[in-house]
């Protein structure tokens, strides 16, 4: 009974850990960071990889944004991965006016394959991977590359994504999520020494590190999670840079959000299945903690589902009174978790307000967050697990048309 109770309280323990980690990171690291970037970078350059699939409405703005960045030594490589819309035509027309490299692949073989093809053309020692709907802040490349110049053991520096489209309730909820939940987790994980995953939308890599781990995995549905764990297991470092901002589009329909979160959940579980044994053998406390987070979050979802179903049908699998007790624990943990999460969100939004002040006002939408976030993420975790078990090794993990929400914001 005590074991089940502790498992049900798992999200509460993690929320407390994230709150404490955020506070420590903020006072020990973040508040000491300079507000202006060091632009004395010598001859260091960055090759920007922009993989694209059915992005005819966003790709032009992203390419122009990167070309207009003040960062002096840069190369832009756009990879069209067999788009079925007019992306190739838009890029071809744009190339007549602007200077960048265009890699036009004939078949959709997935984002990882597109990145692997694009890196073949990279001229510089640093690789910036960004999505085709991303707008990069002018100072972000300077903040990110500065970390590499200070630490030669770094493999990747992941940035601080912001939300461009906030016109809908879902858009506002995700603005809260990225500013609070995502930022809070990355800050806490930075204290332990291992960040679970880079942000696929916006990360700067050391080219030699990518090559050391044999590039991106073509058969993993989330290439960012997969390469993050390859870095961890190769004893290479990932760092979070909160000052490096970018703006991206997010789904604004329940269907689009569902597809996105299902892919994320499946990708995380694919990596967990693939790298579990290697992670256990690593004997690194921070890797153990990351494994603990992923395994117990999955166990928690199935346990809660089992308790709810058994309570509803009054199954004989558990004693009725025992089930009533467990159901009460579920409600109690949910209430306490809601309270702790409001504390977590509020602290994180206040910390994050130094980058986007309007985020503090989004506290109003916190009441929506637990309902949408917990229900969707719990359901996708359950549905994604069988899909992750069926992953075909070596098969291309192709991508489908993304839901970019209200592009006009």
Exposed/middle/buried for 393, CB within 10 Å: 0-12, 13-18, 19+?
A: exposed
The reported pLDDT for the residue numbered 91 is 97
The reported pLDDT for the residue numbered 10 is 72
Report the length, in residues, of the chain: 409
The reported pLDDT for the residue numbered 340 is 78
Cα–Cα distance list, 234 to 126, 155, 188, 256, 282 (Å): 19, 10, 22, 35, 9
Instruction: Return mean pLDDT, the chain.
Output: 86
Q: Do 98 and 385 contact (CB within 8 A), yes or no?
A: no
Sign for the pseudo-dihedral over CA of 339, 344, 350, 352: negative
- Among 242, 210, 263, 223, smallest CA distance to 401 is for 263
The reported pLDDT for the residue numbered 254 is 83
Q: What is the pTM of this model?
A: 0.90
The reported pLDDT for the residue numbered 253 is 87
Tokens coding 235: 């004893």
Exposure string for 246-284, b = 16+ CB within 10 A, e = fewer: bbbbbbbeeebbbbbbbbbbbbbbbbbebbeeebeebee
Mean pLDDT by 10 residues, the chain (409 residues): 60 84 94 90 93 95 97 96 95 96 96 97 97 96 95 94 86 82 91 90 97 96 95 95 95 88 92 94 88 84 72 56 55 71 82 77 62 73 89 87 68
What lies within 8 Å, CB to CB, of 66 at 6+ separation is 48, 50, 74, 76, 130, 136
Tokens coding 202: 């916006």
What lies within 8 Å, CB to CB, of 174 at 6+ separation is 163, 250, 257
Beta bridge partners of 170: none
The reported pLDDT for the residue numbered 207 is 98
CA angle 234, 109, 89 (to 5 degrees): 125
The reported pLDDT for the residue numbered 328 is 60
The reported pLDDT for the residue numbered 168 is 82
Tokens coding 383: 């549905």
Sign for the pseudo-dihedral over CA of 31, 35, 41, 46: positive
The reported pLDDT for the residue numbered 394 is 86
């Amino acid at each position: 009974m005590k074991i089940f109770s502790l498992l049900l309280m798992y999200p509460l323990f993690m929320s407390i850990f994230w709150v404490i980690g955020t506070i420590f990171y903020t006072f020990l690291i973040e508040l000491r960071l300079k507000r202006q970037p060091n632009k004395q970078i010598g001859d260091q350059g960055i090759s920007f990889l922009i993989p694209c699939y059915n992005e005819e409405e966003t790709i032009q703005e992203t390419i122009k944004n990167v070309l207009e960045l003040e960062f002096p030594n840069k190369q832009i490589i756009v990879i069209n991965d067999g788009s079925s819309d007019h992306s190739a035509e838009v890029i071809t027309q744009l190339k007549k006016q602007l200077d960048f490299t265009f890699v036009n692949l004939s078949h959709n073989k997935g984002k990882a394959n597109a990145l692997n093809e694009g890196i073949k053309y990279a001229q510089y020692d640093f690789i910036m991977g960004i999505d085709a709907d991303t707008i990069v802040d002018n100072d972000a490349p300077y903040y990110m590359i500065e970390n590499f110049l200070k630490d030669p053991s770094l493999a990747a520096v992941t940035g601080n994504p912001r939300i461009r489209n906030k016109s809908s309730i879902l858009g506002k909820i995700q603005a809260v999520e990225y500013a609070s939940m995502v930022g809070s987790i990355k800050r806490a994980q930075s204290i332990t020494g291992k960040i679970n995953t880079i942000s696929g939308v916006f990360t700067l890599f050391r080219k030699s590190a990518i090559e050391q781990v044999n590039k991106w995995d073509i058969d993993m549905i989330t290439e960012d999670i997969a390469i993050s764990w390859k870095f961890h297991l190769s004893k290479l470092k990932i760092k979070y840079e909160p000052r490096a901002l970018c703006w991206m589009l997010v789904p604004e329909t329940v269907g689009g959000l569902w597809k996105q979160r299902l892919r994320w959940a499946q990708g995380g579980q694919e990596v967990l299945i693939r790298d579990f044994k290697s992670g256990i053998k690593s004997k690194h406390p921070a890797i153990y903690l990351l494994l603990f987070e992923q395994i117990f979050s999955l166990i928690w979802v199935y346990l809660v589902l089992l308790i709810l179903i058994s309570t509803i049908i009054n199954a004989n699998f558990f004693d009725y009174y025992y089930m009533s007790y467990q159901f009460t624990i579920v409600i109690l943990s949910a209430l306490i978790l809601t309270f702790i999460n409001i504390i977590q969100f509020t602290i994180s939004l206040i910390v994050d307000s130094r980058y986007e002040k309007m985020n503090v006002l989004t506290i109003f939408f916190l009441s929506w967050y637990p309902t949408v976030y917990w229900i969707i993420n719990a359901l996708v975790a359950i549905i994604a697990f069988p899909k992750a078990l069926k992953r075909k090794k070596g098969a291309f993990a192709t991508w489908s048309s993304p839901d970019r929400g209200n592009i006009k914001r």
